[in-house]
Structure 1
């Protein structure tokens, strides 16, 4: 596939060798793309595999039948009731049962899913071999025998057969990034960021192991999320220390791997920090969008919530890359009691408006919560019913259309806008270069499973640097910036 792309590019270069040098500027920028590059940089229509590895009672309750509200307590209860072997067998059966229910053809061909976000706990990594001095250490032997890590790697390979990428999400950290049960243990406070020994273990041992064993050699692993839902922290000193160290450790092993962090419920805080630390090209910020938990949302009807989405989902997309790691079509029953009309119609509108807004501000796309449940289809929490009811759009299959007449119109509009604003002194050819360079990338991405460009900020920074190395820097590079993003906005969306 990618050899063919390169052949097309070389053919185009030959045909244009006597034309304007500026037209050629964009062509070498695309020639280096690999399948792994596109996996890691495309826009995601994704889904979470919630409840597959990290156990959550409300999703899959089979392992909780002997007691416990979190994974540590539930598995400990299994061991106490029977044995290590039987507890491990029960876990293995759960993993395999979950995976065996995945309808791969439907996900790829009907829903158009590009990727999975797979929540795991630090205790799953390496089948529990890295648990020294960590809270799950007493259950080391259970996970050694249950082999979740081996099953995860097999799942990654299976996903690759369907061109589905995998975001490995370290959902559970020792001590917890929050106090929720999905941290694996009951935590009275989110202590992870305050415990240097836990941070050291993650940065020096666990994350590097994941990267070497499951990221470097798996072309469809699209990124590594190093935290899930960090609590709000005004200064966030502990979070910033962990993130900077994690990025540095992973960059030494796999420099192109996207590292995903939490927005801590304050997106602008992380846009500022990534700009200050020059890490915007390596990091994606995960924001979760739920409109069913806060008292403010419960006090609104469905129409008010939907109308407020564009205002509440307005992240600084020009500064950093965002992804919506979790969202659903769920509204609280208090909201429904205030809402007149057909519930299914409101749900369809809610889902469509959410994903439409994500397309404008979340450059790395979205991951619906969640894929499946032990009993039933999950309703407004479930991907399958929401796709079938039209609330979550099926990813279109047609290739992007780039009309050369429209390209010329955009260029002329740019020139006309600046004509009486000092445009004669500007370098409008840089705008055209940026526009056409992005179009070349758009066409290249489309060659792989009709993908679209994601991580707009990171890709633009990379292309910008390549461009300056050939054409030189200028105070008018902002024109190139505008051209590059304009092409994505105009031609690079589904």
Structure 2
């Protein structure tokens, strides 16, 4: 039987269509999985809970093209020196608020911060995001001190709690303003109690990552996650996910705390995507997410997405490379996903977003560029990253958008977008009139596409394992769901622009498999039909 499966799989490579997302044939069930399909006992299907695609589904699961907001609710002096008194002794949020309170008092400091928050993103800014950048999402760095006043108790921010009394209302107002324009927000707990890393963007200049050694800090971090989830449940529309940590210190004991946070959010709303930091070890984080993203969990649980960051300007290894070398290297990133996508029934779902990247290189690297003008290489660098993230990730967020020295040079989303170094997926620029025509075309031969896909699937497995019971109706069911889902994403909605692609494909498939209610040995047929239906719609509209 093993030899037969190997031969059959080899033959299958030549007859299946190519998946444009991975440039590989659609994934097939493993030998072990299909063999077990004929051996295990029967499990009864449950009622399906699959519903039509909603605007919130589109905002959460399309490819996220966007930017980090920058230094607004988590101050960093190198980005926002104007929010620090000249005599401030440090570079973190805590040092800024401490210095202002000492200088002008609590009330005036509160007014200063509130005015800064209120004017950080104007209506014209949002208009630019939508019309020029074609952005779909914002990654919004926030601190634990921006949430409930009780979150500041027994922390270094406790003496300054009065400054932050309206911080959360400012944040929620921004989230809703963005949502009104079709932009989703990733709530990023950038600054956690005690600090997930030793850097000033953790809120203090302590230089330590106490989160990992303090149970009190970890418990407070869980409370922060619960607060954010509850806000979403109570109507904060447009939240595409909750990131529970940013740039965790290398080697930190993250997983047990991640488990606690994911459980806490899942108990409130298991539909909210949870984003975790890879702690600079992407492969380990992906393997953790595969365990969390099982097809049939014992109880409802949030989908888990891994956040990874890419910079090429800080290590000796990177500064020794030329821009041309780095551009080539950017096109190879995210290889840790190889072999881990395509079958959630087999191994769970692996989904990654690039939470931070830039077009910055060190002066040492630029000195090795040869005769090629720097601006040409900056553009090539941004283009290479944009292509790669769109090929292999569920979204990417440039670092960063807002700073004192706007538009920001190679650190600036606005400048790199205006120069076309950083670009959105091509389908996001499709005119609405063209979207309607393409969808009409996709419907004109829908049944023929479905019959071709189902017949190919059925013929293959009937030839491979003749006279063996299969459940090919599940494949057809999955195809129909996938084709319609992809149509709905592409069409968009009245409050969401069109041209969308299911960029977070793995966790979307996970969602649909869980909602299908299907059980037993042949759920993989539904999954593969779902993937093929999505693929066939993309082929029909040319994206």
Scaled to the shorter chain, the TM-score interval is: 0.7 to 0.9
Match of 1:71 among 71, 93, 110: 93
C-alpha distance in 2 between matches for 1:420 and 1:303: 50
Match of 1:91 among 110, 113, 117: 113
Structure 2 residue aligned with 1:157:
176
TM norm structure 1:
0.84
Match of 2:318 among 293, 297, 301: 297
Gapped regions of structure 2 (runs ≥ 5): 1-47, 296-301, 342-348
3-state SS of 2:336 partner: coil
**Shift, 1:39, TM fit:** 2.2
Structure 2 residue aligned with 1:374:
404
Structure 2 residue aligned with 1:222:
240
3-state SS of 1:393 partner: coil
Gapped regions of structure 1 (runs ≥ 5): 1-27
**Shift, 1:423, TM fit:** 7.9
The yes-or-no answer on 1:60 pairing with 2:80 is yes
**Shift, 1:36, TM fit:** 2.4
Structure 1 residue aligned with 2:283:
268
Confirm or deny: 8 A CA contact 1:165 1:222 kept in the other structure. Answer: yes
Structure 1 residue aligned with 2:482:
438
Match of 1:460 among 487, 506, 509: 509
Match of 1:383 among 394, 402, 413: 413
Structure 2 residue aligned with 1:346:
377
Aligned CA distance change for structure 1 residues 394 and 61 (closer, same or farther; 3 Å)? same
Match of 1:288 among 274, 289, 309: 309
3-state SS of 1:176 partner: coil
Aligned CA distance change for structure 1 residues 216 and 38 (closer, same or farther; 3 Å)? farther
3-state SS of 1:212 partner: helix
C-alpha distance in 2 between matches for 1:101 and 1:291: 33
| CA deviation map 1:70-118 (0-9, x unaligned) | 1111211111122112222221222123223751112112211111111
3-state SS of 2:53 partner: coil
Structure 1 residue aligned with 2:213:
194
3-state SS of 2:241 partner: strand
Aligned CA distance change for structure 1 residues 77 and 180 (closer, same or farther; 3 Å)? same
The yes-or-no answer on 1:321 pairing with 2:339 is no
Aligned CA distance change for structure 1 residues 349 and 484 (closer, same or farther; 3 Å)? farther
Confirm or deny: 8 A CA contact 1:29 1:437 kept in the other structure. Answer: no
Aligned CA distance change for structure 1 residues 76 and 301 (closer, same or farther; 3 Å)? same
C-alpha distance in 1 between matches for 2:373 and 2:466: 53
Aligned CA distance change for structure 1 residues 371 and 101 (closer, same or farther; 3 Å)? farther
3-state SS of 2:308 partner: strand
C-alpha distance in 2 between matches for 1:373 and 1:119: 14
RCO higher in structure (CA 8 A, sep ≥6): 2
C-alpha distance in 1 between matches for 2:401 and 2:227: 27
Match of 1:211 among 229, 248, 267: 229
C-alpha distance in 1 between matches for 2:375 and 2:467: 55
The yes-or-no answer on 1:143 pairing with 2:173 is no
Confirm or deny: 8 A CA contact 1:303 1:339 kept in the other structure. Answer: yes
| CA deviation map 1:292-322 (0-9, x unaligned) | 2222221111221122224332232513221
Aligned-CA RMSD value: 2.7
**Shift, 1:256, TM fit:** 1.1
The yes-or-no answer on 1:473 pairing with 2:520 is yes
Structure 2 residue aligned with 1:9:
none
Match of 1:180 among 199, 217, 230: 199
C-alpha distance in 1 between matches for 2:194 and 2:459: 58
TM norm structure 2:
0.77
Instruction: Spell out the pairing of 1:243-282 with structure 2 (5 A cutoff).
Output: 243-278=258-293, 282=303
3-state SS of 2:335 partner: coil
Confirm or deny: 8 A CA contact 1:216 1:254 kept in the other structure. Answer: no
3-state SS of 1:260 partner: strand
Query: Bigger shift: 383-392 or 422-431?
Result: 422-431
C-alpha distance in 2 between matches for 1:488 and 1:32: 15
**Shift, 1:122, TM fit:** 0.5
Structure 1 residue aligned with 2:69:
49
C-alpha distance in 1 between matches for 2:247 and 2:530: 32
3-state SS of 1:355 partner: helix
Match of 1:82 among 104, 107, 112: 104
Structure 2 residue aligned with 1:485:
531
Structure 1 residue aligned with 2:53:
33
C-alpha distance in 1 between matches for 2:462 and 2:373: 52
| CA deviation map 1:177-232 (0-9, x unaligned) | 111110110133212022101111221x3222222235541221111111101112
Structure 1 residue aligned with 2:333:
312
C-alpha distance in 1 between matches for 2:53 and 2:267: 21
